[in-house]
Structure 1
Amino acid sequence: MIDAIIFAITIVLPNLFLMGLGFFMKKRGEVSQTFIDQASYFVFNYCLPALLFFSVVDSEVDYAKQITLIAAGILITFILFIGAELYAKRFVSDPADQGVFVQGIFRSNMAIIGLATVANAYGEKGLSIGAVYMGIVTILFNILAVITLSRVSKSAEDTWTSRTLMVVKKLFTNPLILALLAAFAYKALPLPPITGVIHTTGDLLAAVALPLALICAGASIDLKSMFRLSGLSMQASIGRIVIAPIVAIVVGLSFGLTGVHMGVLFLMVASPTAAASYVMAKAMGGNDVLAANILAFTTVVGLFSMAIGAALLRVFGLM
């Protein structure tokens, strides 16, 4: 039991420390909002793509064996999405709140919190598996997010055709998805290994990705928003930090997952609400205040639920 607790603390505590550093620096005025925005852009467009590309290209993971893991992740996403949609239709009256509520439950922060925790737990092997999982499920996240948020639009120009085009545009301009597609193509072709200056540069960019992303996430935390929870934001937060991890464990066990695969599934699903949920809610006319409250609360509290779940799974030898 002690070993399991130490394992859980080890994989979560570095993330908390880096986020705490970002929060501390923002409070002291050592970083500005401009820096946070620019650094986040740099991480998303350059550092994370480099991390994902080289983690896939350098790995010896048999990606055909990840089909069960990816299928479990897709099923979990649909269970959370459909469950949240049914709940929202019955208990959430304002259309501007419904999509934000649903997105806050099914869409997890895989690219930053999820990948960082997986890397802490399993190193390069886990990172490679997590990158593949993230690439596939991110596509589904974007499609479902547009579907659930589109209900608030009153524009005559906003049709299912325009929404479909928006989803396609988002997918094929997403640097993370493009990096993964490029990595899969490189591995599939009879090309020589990437070495020398190119690989060294990629490694340096990749090394920056997760630490800087976590510092920016911490600097973006708004404690006033976090503790200004309405009944609706608390319900969505419970769905993300309690219901989602439980669904992940149940589905993972039903698919027979253990070890690294169960660990990757749990940590990816149990991650806090994705930062992109706030951006997309604001862009599509949803309740951005509600989105910010859910994001802030789950970002902090969700890490503790991840630690508890990881400790329990470790006790039973499942991850």
Structure 2
Amino acid sequence: MNNLLISFNAVAPMFLWMLLGYTTRLKGILDQHSQRQLNRLVFQVFMPALLFYNIYKTDLHISVQPRLMLFVLVEIILMWLLALAVGIKADPRPQKRGALIQGMFRSNFILFGLPVIVSLFGTSGTGVTSMLIAVVIPLYNILSVITLEVFRNCRISVRVILTGILKNPLIIASLVGASFLFFQIQLPQFLESSVSGLANIATSLALVVMGAGFQITLIKENYRNLMLAVLMKLFLIPLIFVSSAIAAGYRGVALAAIMILFSAPTAVSSFPMAAQMESDSDLASEIIAFTTLISCATIFTWIFFLKQWGLI
């Protein structure tokens, strides 16, 4: 029961923020122009601040496990290749493909990782999770840019993809955060407080904007892709990659972090990125909404069984 409450408490605020956004659109507070402007603000300012701050605050001296980090990076690349193969097969439309593939592989680990780990293990378990955040978030962003850029142009251009990566605010923020972390550069207190304030706003604002753009009438059009994304993101991918982590001998905090990484719902930041890179933002928002809702049950199930089997 406690584990179910943990999952519910992590998920419920997200839906309340989306509901707020949807309500503001119905009441005419946020029109389409305002939504586009706010979405640009989230993508170019608030989400980069969130990524920078989370990486910047990671403690390098706690729980550095190179083998674990390498294992996770390899698994993420394999997951991306699997999502790429499924997405290309599932839908011939480039805009749909980009949003679908990103929705299948990109995890909301940055929001789910630490809260769930702290609930399970206390603050002693945050070191491994924070370090994984520092290495996997830049990789997720790079793979997302590659995916959306390829399907925006319908061709593979190394120059265009590299330009998209180098210009992407989320990747720039991740790299700057990693540089500050590894070179132990300290922000002045007033700057750190300012960045922290922006980071605290990022998720709630992104979800409000996403909720404002949510249209129930489009679910029927995207039903097949939506169900495929949910099946892949919350069932098939966790089954494959958490099982491989168990087979590789990971237990305790490390296994719990891997489980959250692969079973968490689709990242909120995939919506503003899809919107900014001319992908199907409606499909992206629907995937986030449905995976977030259903993940309450699936994450609870993973926690329950891993605890029952004595693996975490």
Shorter-chain TM-score category?
A: 0.7 to 0.9
- Aligned residue runs from structure 1 range 23-62, under 5 A: 23-61=22-60, 62=62
Q: Look up the equivalent residue of 1:220 and give its one-letter code.
A: G
Corresponding residue number in structure 2 for 1:303: 292
Corresponding residue number in structure 2 for 1:292: 282
Q: Distance in 2 between matches of 1:45 and 1:97?
A: 21
Q: Distance in 2 between matches of 1:19 and 1:261?
A: 32
Q: Percent identity?
A: 15
2:131 is aligned with 1:142: no
Q: Look up the equivalent residue of 1:304 and give its one-letter code.
A: L
Q: Look up the equivalent residue of 2:85 and give its one-letter code.
A: E
Displacement of 1:302 in angstroms is: 0.7
Displacement of 1:164 in angstroms is: 0.6
* Change in CA separation of 1:194 and 1:88 when aligned onto 2, cut-off 3 Å: closer
Q: Distance in 1 between matches of 2:195 and 2:277?
A: 33
Q: Distance in 2 between matches of 1:66 and 1:22?
A: 41
2:56 is aligned with 1:68: no
* Change in CA separation of 1:36 and 1:257 when aligned onto 2, cut-off 3 Å: farther
Displacement of 1:70 in angstroms is: 5.3
- Aligned residue runs from structure 1 range 155-166, under 5 A: 160=156, 163-166=157-160
Displacement of 1:87 in angstroms is: 7.8
What CA deviation, in whole Å up to 9, does each residue of 1:201-247 have, x standing for no partner?
Answer: 11111111111112112222111112334545533443334323323
Q: Distance in 2 between matches of 1:50 and 1:86?
A: 33
Q: Distance in 2 between matches of 1:68 and 1:197?
A: 35
Residue segments in structure 2 that go unaligned for 5+ positions in a row = none
What CA deviation, in whole Å up to 9, does each residue of 1:100-121 have, x standing for no partner?
Answer: 486256442x4xx442333543
TM-score for both structures, normalised by structure 1: 0.76
* Change in CA separation of 1:36 and 1:70 when aligned onto 2, cut-off 3 Å: farther
Q: Distance in 2 between matches of 1:196 and 1:105?
A: 37
Q: Distance in 2 between matches of 1:240 and 1:3?
A: 24
Displacement of 1:15 in angstroms is: 1.3
Corresponding residue number in structure 2 for 1:171: 165
Q: Look up the equivalent residue of 1:292 and give its one-letter code.
A: D
Corresponding residue number in structure 1 for 2:136: 133
* Change in CA separation of 1:229 and 1:187 when aligned onto 2, cut-off 3 Å: closer
- Between the two proteins, the alignment pairs up a number of residues equal to 296
Q: Look up the equivalent residue of 1:168 and give its one-letter code.
A: L
What RMSD, in angstroms, separates the aligned Cα atoms of the two structures? 3.4
TM-score for both structures, normalised by structure 2: 0.78
Residue segments in structure 1 that go unaligned for 5+ positions in a row = none
Q: 1:184 aligns with which of 172, 178, 183?
A: 178
Question: Does the 8 Å contact 1:25/1:219 carry over to 2?
Answer: yes
